[in-house]
A and B are shown apart, each in its own frame.
Chain A
């Protein structure tokens, strides 16, 4: 089973972003890395100068590098940028919106978690158009993952296994709105929340997280304890989504459980020590995504020790 490092979803400082990938290249036991800005095109120019060095370092370290497409595109410049990316033979694209599919003209590509592949018929259609890797939508239950993955053994199916879960995308920037700014004049306020801005209910219960035009879960998805089930269902890779924590240690933990060096039962507490955020895996079991379902079927919340 492979490990994939998903794209950084947040607005990180460009140098911190570059250094993060340098360390991933040098130390993290991941097989595939997706690079690029997929949430907000206004952030892209800051990362672009660093992309060649990041790609070179990751490639030299033996990682497969994919370039992620934007998730929601409406501006002409966004479509133009994607057209250039799709036409660049140096990179394989991870498509996050069907906008890019026509541009690729059947060239082999990957499909990201923001394209709706909910069943084997749809997966087969995309495979027939050149998709060789597909990261399934995070809300898919295990039964669906199994039905899809088993029907297409030639495609590598990936499951979102760590990180705040991307739940929605809008044309409206909520970070800007919160700061009484417009999206066009946002002053990049999302950079103040490199791990997402926690949104709680009126009862002070953590619920969601804001990231510009994107809304994520408050909880951190963790399928660390479900790896055997995922492997049995035919998942070929697990996606780790970068958060503000030691992602090398997170990747190592997943690697150790996959390789049988660490018991899954011991892993949740270890993960909490690295990233002390409430964990969730409810989507996998057709329960509310915010829930955490234990091996015995209990619904509970893993809250890190204070």
Chain B
């Protein structure tokens, strides 16, 4: 199984190449990619140089152009596709059907992957992307069990890729407007979820309160570890009581599911975290290289090797285990 690593900067890409990533995904520094944070991502020149560097070491680069093109300015997304092709991207990762249509018509030789943002959650939906745009791979949303992933992978005529580590979307990706409801900035249009610019912290009677836009997302008692106020991982209340109604502030770690994901025929494993620092990327990639090599050799998998990276939060296998639902 191919190990796909995130790179938010050229330096992170260099590190990922050095520690043995099979492929790296990254995006341009504008709203065409779904991690549109200040100070992150690649200029056109950095993209060309970084891809050339990766290719010298036999590492593939996948360029994510995975927000939905803004009406009246679709050219910005089309130009991102042109530029990725020109920079010799090994694949473009697309979400918008109009952009896929453009890519398939203008650059028929370009390898096209379906982004997780395209919300392709079953074989019929994936077939649509394969038949219409010659998609070679689909990144599956984090709402499927391993059994469902296995069934899909058996049925479709393209590769499947799944997330194995990092942030966990509990809503189907590409179909969530929670963040824009609270902040006016949208994952689909602006490439940001629970954006840092909309967050405020304040202390009240010793408790730390985190707010997103006009809304309180969480309150932490003195000494309690404070999680980033991602909207779907906040504490709320209903008449039934208060708590983490949607999901605890947990990260995805599918290490224990790797044997099953391999048996399912999954082609690629994706690590989330283009916004993460170099040290993080390096450690996660190294660790997963070790885990995968143990898996290949039939050795026992290292136990809890990544606990130190989960920032004091808990880990979950998310939807991969059906009981999560």
Q: Which residues of A contact B (CB under 8 A)?
A: 71-74, 79, 82, 97-103, 114, 116-126, 137-140, 143-148, 165, 167-174, 176-179, 182-184, 197-205, 207-208, 210, 215, 217, 282-283, 286-291
Contact = CB atoms under 8 A, between A and B. Distances in A.
A5 B278 CA distance: 51
Contact of B122 (A99, A116, A283): A99
Given A138-B177, A183-B325, A184-B325, 9 more contacts: A79-B124, A116-B95, A119-B74, A122-B69, A125-B97, A167-B176, A201-B217, A283-B177, A289-B180
Given A119-B68, A178-B245, A290-B181, A199 B235 contact: no
B128 to A, nearest CB: 5
B177 A121 contact: no
Contact of B181 (A123, A148, A288): A288
B96 A201 contact: no
Contact of B144 (A140, A145, A167, A171): A171
Interface in B275-325: 319, 322-325
B178 interface: yes
A98 B120 contact: yes
A14 B214 CA distance: 38
Contact of B182 (A103, A118, A140, A288): A288
A202 B236 contact: yes
Given A74-B122, A122-B69, A202 B245 contact: no
A114 B71 contact: no
Contacts of B237: 199-202, 204
A126 B170 contact: no
Contacts of A120: 71-72, 74, 98
B148 interface: yes
A13 B280 CA distance: 51
Contacts of A202: 216, 218-219, 235-237, 242
Interface residues of B, number: 67
14 contacts: A102-B124, A102-B127, A116-B68, A118-B68, A119-B68, A120-B74, A121-B96, A144-B71, A182-B323, A197-B238, A286-B184, A287-B184, A288-B214, A289-B181
Contacts of B247: 172
B69 A121 contact: yes
Contacts of A173: 325
B213 A121 contact: no
B207 to A, nearest CB: 10
A139 B180 contact: yes
A201 B213 CA distance: 12
Interface string B208-228: 000001111111000000000
Contacts of B134: none
A48 B54 CA distance: 56
A290 B71 contact: no
7 tightest CB-CB pairs across the interface, nearest first?
A: A121-B98, A122-B98, A171-B143, A118-B68, A144-B71, A147-B71, A289-B181
Contacts of A282: 184
Contacts of B242: 202
Contacts of B99: 121-122
- Residue from the set A98, A139, A178 with the largest chain B CB neighbour count within 10 Å: A98
Contact of A99 (B101, B124, B183, B319): B124
Of B101, B144, B242, which is in contact with the most chain A CB atoms at under 10 Å from its CB? B101
Contacts of A204: 237
A210 to B, nearest CB: 7
B177 A168 contact: yes
Residue in B71, B188, B216, B240 with the greatest tally of chain A CB atoms within 10 Å = B71
A139 to B, nearest CB: 4
Contacts of A79: 122-124
A177 B245 contact: yes
Contacts of B131: 102
Contact of A165 (B97, B181, B213): B181
Contacts of B129: 98
Contacts of B214: 288, 290
B315 to A, nearest CB: 17
Interface centre among B98, B148, B219, B242 (most CB of A within 10 A): B98
B175 A74 contact: no
Contacts of B123: 79
Interface string B67-80: 01111101000000
B247 to A, nearest CB: 8
Contacts of B96: 116, 118-119, 121-122
